[in-house]
Structure 1
Amino acid sequence: MISNTSDRIKLPQGFWTGLRQLGIAAQDVARKAGLPLTIITELVVTTTQYFAIWQAYSDLIGDTAKGIIELATVYETAKYPPSVLATYHARDYRDALSRMTRYKQLCPPESLRITEEGEHCVIELEWLYTEQSGPPLLIGITLANLLELGRRGTGQSLTAQLVEFTQAMGDVQALEAYFGCPVRIGAKSNRLTLHRKDLDLPFLSYNEELLEILTPVLNESLGEQQSIRSVTEKVKWIMKRCLTGGQPDIHSVAKVLNMSDRTLQRRLTDENTSFKLLLTQAKHEQALEYLADPSLDIKEVAFLIGYEDQNSFYRAFRIWEDDTPSNWRAEHLGANSMSENANTY
């Protein structure tokens, strides 16, 4: 089983149900995305697959704005994963947004940054450990869901002050009608600006008892993810998240860790390693994890660990394992199968 710290994203349980309610069949999305139909039964997907699914939905729906609005309004609250569902039982809108920002770290690839100043509350969408930008529809639905959170939680028809997108989003007038404010295209970042006073509005769905149950479990999951202690472990964790978007460099990793390039190099030297060595180890470890997943073909594995050329992956793998990827997979998957069969007797 592939670990959660690798390039894997959980699909909400009701995702395909939501699309079906809009008259879009899951198999049509899979085919449009160029993915095997088995993707419909997968609980986790890669970042590349995740983005492809959202782009396929956008292509099938026809207009980005229409896809954003319809999915945001039709999706049932009860179908959200626990990390999102907990926000709907928060004390007020501010508490809900704070929880959403915190628990978004459990649901990459997007992350949120909230800033309150004067009469404004600005929420900026960023990508967690990847330079790859998501499809416009995914960006739009992420910001729409934040406003939808406030509307459903407070029971009021809240509006935003301003919505900014870096890319074209289809019918801007439709989006302005939905958000209740101007929508700016071609901005420097994707941002939702709310009325700060709305953050004090209490949630009708506030449930202290349920939060007492959900919060410790979610905090424990988040704690496990953030409990990586050494710089070496942190760097490798970040590298594995970035491999799909290409080969990460020391500058991009240092930026995530809020360090200078020189400081990161010094810390790694103190731990008797180097950036180059850790990158090789990260690729090697990820290759073995992906090869252990029979649903991924060799070309996909090569791409997922940052190799555009399959031959380059083969050469690297021979250095790591003194074997070819296909031989390694056949040997280890065969051994695992025999072990499982033995345990059934």
Structure 2
Amino acid sequence: MTTVSNGTVMSVVASALSRGLTITEVQEAAGISCNVLMNPEARPPEDVMPRIMALIGERFPGEPTTLDIARAAPFSFFGGLADGARYADDLRAATKLLAKNCTVISDQLELTFHEGPSGAKLISSHPMNHMDGGRSAEIGSALIARLFTEFLGIPDCFKHITFSHAPHSDVDHYVDYFGVPVEFNAQEISLVIKPKKLNERIKQANVELFNYVQTHLSGVKKQIEAAKEPRELKALRNAAAENAEAGVFTTTSVAVAANMSVRTAQRITAEHGTTVQGLIDKVREHRATELLGDNRNDIGSIAFLLGYSDERAFRRAFQRWTDRTPSDYRKQLNKQIE
């Protein structure tokens, strides 16, 4: 079962109730009780939010309900990502943080950050967008815009906004909210960011706190995954971790340690959107960050301990995982200690 952060659901439930919908109506639309919906510790099923938004859209056609929710919603909607973003060095780093950790908000949410010579954009997609005609996507986009301008203190960030669905109210409402042109029935849902704004420094930037938040979010994602992870996948993940302690990093060895055939291991991981090699790489990434924390370990030795044929192969892998070279990562760690 895929799940969503309750910070997102609670904002939508509160809006529904404030507009006169009854608790019974909200519960029937959601398919679960309001005790679960309003429990900040719970993670309800992922289809709850679009179900409630579809009900709101049906009851209040033509009204800018999504924008009203975005104006009033607390930043806990982001499941802790907002607090992390404010410690980023600049808007680029904050945007990358959102994209990398978006599953904290919703298991199936995808935020992709693209940056090129012609501009930069944050693209959003979710397989359940069709359930409410894109209303949940509008709330998310509107809240990200508010996060950048209001919470991070960087105004006038965007060039234009695009949505892949038709508008649910007069387009002027959207233009008034975002302050830039808004296109509907486009190929994607995106926030197009002005390139020069990406380098704009965030007032509360703090390298030490930002790195702490990234570590914390990594732990949160692992807890979310562990809570819903099937027994077979857990066995493979544990086998990859145990093999790493012995310096063994092959697909076959992981399958054998989990008492499975390689074919079975590959099928199980594929069913859950990963691969056996992906599990191995996650273990390698975690172990690499630990080893880099000790300056006595030179990078060549770390590469050897993690099963790489040479230092260059390790550097490429580490940069793919973290967007930083091993040397840059170590320098950042050393700065925090000084």
- The letter of the residue matching 1:49 is V
Contact kept, 8 Å, 2:119 with 2:194, in 1: the verdict is yes
- The letter of the residue matching 2:5 is K
CA distance in 1, matches of 2:128, 2:30: 22
For residues 218-244 of structure 1, give each alpha carbon's deviation from its aligned partner in whole angstroms, at most 9, with x where no partner exists: 1233356789xxxx849x99xxxxxxx
In structure 1, what is the equivalent of residue 4 of structure 2?
A: 9
Q: Which moved more, 1:91-100 or 1:23-32?
A: 23-32
1:148-297 correspondence to structure 2 within 5 Å: 148-170=146-168, 171-208=170-207, 210-222=209-221, 233=233, 271-273=262-264
Paired residues in the alignment total 239
How much is the aligned-residue C-alpha RMSD, in angstroms? 3.9
- The letter of the residue matching 1:68 is T
Deviation at 1:71, TM superposition (A): 1.9
Query: What is the DSSP-based 3-state SS (H/G/I as helix, E as strand, rest coil) of the residue aligned with 2:47?
Result: helix
Gaps of 5+ in 2: 227-231, 238-259, 273-338
Gap change, CA 1:141 and 1:172, over 3 Å in 2: same
- Answering whether residue 83 of structure 2 is matched by residue 85 of structure 1, we say yes
Contact kept, 8 Å, 2:119 with 2:193, in 1: the verdict is yes
Contact kept, 8 Å, 1:164 with 1:191, in 2: the verdict is yes
- The letter of the residue matching 1:19 is S
CA distance in 1, matches of 2:44, 2:33: 13
Query: What is the DSSP-based 3-state SS (H/G/I as helix, E as strand, rest coil) of the residue aligned with 2:165?
Result: coil
Instruction: Give the TM-score of the pair, scaled to structure 2.
Output: 0.58
- The letter of the residue matching 2:163 is F
For residues 118-148 of structure 1, give each alpha carbon's deviation from its aligned partner in whole angstroms, at most 9, with x where no partner exists: 2411211122xx4764522111111122221
Deviation at 1:72, TM superposition (A): 1.8
Query: What is the DSSP-based 3-state SS (H/G/I as helix, E as strand, rest coil) of the residue aligned with 1:9?
Result: coil
CA distance in 2, matches of 1:156, 1:147: 10
In structure 2, what is the equivalent of residue 289 of structure 1?
A: none
Deviation at 1:208, TM superposition (A): 4.5
In structure 2, what is the equivalent of residue 299 of structure 1?
A: none
Contact kept, 8 Å, 2:233 with 2:268, in 1: the verdict is no
In structure 1, what is the equivalent of residue 97 of structure 2?
A: 99
In structure 2, what is the equivalent of residue 339 of structure 1?
A: none
Deviation at 1:195, TM superposition (A): 0.8
Query: What is the DSSP-based 3-state SS (H/G/I as helix, E as strand, rest coil) of the residue aligned with 1:55?
Result: helix
CA distance in 1, matches of 2:225, 2:264: 21
Deviation at 1:180, TM superposition (A): 2.1
Contact kept, 8 Å, 2:161 with 2:183, in 1: the verdict is yes
Contact kept, 8 Å, 2:6 with 2:37, in 1: the verdict is no
Query: What is the DSSP-based 3-state SS (H/G/I as helix, E as strand, rest coil) of the residue aligned with 2:115?
Result: strand
In structure 1, what is the equivalent of residue 112 of structure 2?
A: 113
Instruction: Give the TM-score of the pair, scaled to structure 1.
Output: 0.57
CA distance in 2, matches of 1:56, 1:95: 36
Gap change, CA 1:273 and 1:81, over 3 Å in 2: closer
For residues 70-111 of structure 1, give each alpha carbon's deviation from its aligned partner in whole angstroms, at most 9, with x where no partner exists: 222222336652234312332221111111111102232311
- The letter of the residue matching 2:72 is V
Gap change, CA 1:98 and 1:159, over 3 Å in 2: closer
For residues 254-308 of structure 1, give each alpha carbon's deviation from its aligned partner in whole angstroms, at most 9, with x where no partner exists: xxxxxxxxxxxxxxx9614399x859x99xxxxxxxxxxxxxxxxxxxxxxxxxx
Gap change, CA 1:83 and 1:201, over 3 Å in 2: same
Gap change, CA 1:33 and 1:154, over 3 Å in 2: same
- The letter of the residue matching 2:186 is A
Query: What is the DSSP-based 3-state SS (H/G/I as helix, E as strand, rest coil) of the residue aligned with 1:161?
Result: strand
Q: Which moved more, 1:203-212 or 1:21-30?
A: 21-30
Contact kept, 8 Å, 1:84 with 1:103, in 2: the verdict is no
- The letter of the residue matching 1:40 is L
CA distance in 1, matches of 2:204, 2:161: 26
CA distance in 2, matches of 1:210, 1:23: 39
Deviation at 1:34, TM superposition (A): 5.7
- Answering whether residue 119 of structure 2 is matched by residue 124 of structure 1, we say no
Deviation at 1:213, TM superposition (A): 3.9
Gap change, CA 1:68 and 1:34, over 3 Å in 2: closer
Contact kept, 8 Å, 1:68 with 1:141, in 2: the verdict is yes
Query: What is the DSSP-based 3-state SS (H/G/I as helix, E as strand, rest coil) of the residue aligned with 2:123?
Result: strand
In structure 2, what is the equivalent of residue 74 of structure 1?
A: 72
What's the % identity of the aligned pairs? 14
CA distance in 2, matches of 1:224, 1:40: 20
- The letter of the residue matching 1:120 is G
Query: What is the DSSP-based 3-state SS (H/G/I as helix, E as strand, rest coil) of the residue aligned with 2:101?
Result: helix
- The letter of the residue matching 1:27 is I
Gap change, CA 1:278 and 1:148, over 3 Å in 2: same
Gaps of 5+ in 1: 1-5, 238-268, 283-345
- The letter of the residue matching 1:35 is G
The higher-RCO structure (CA 8 Å, 6+ apart) is 1
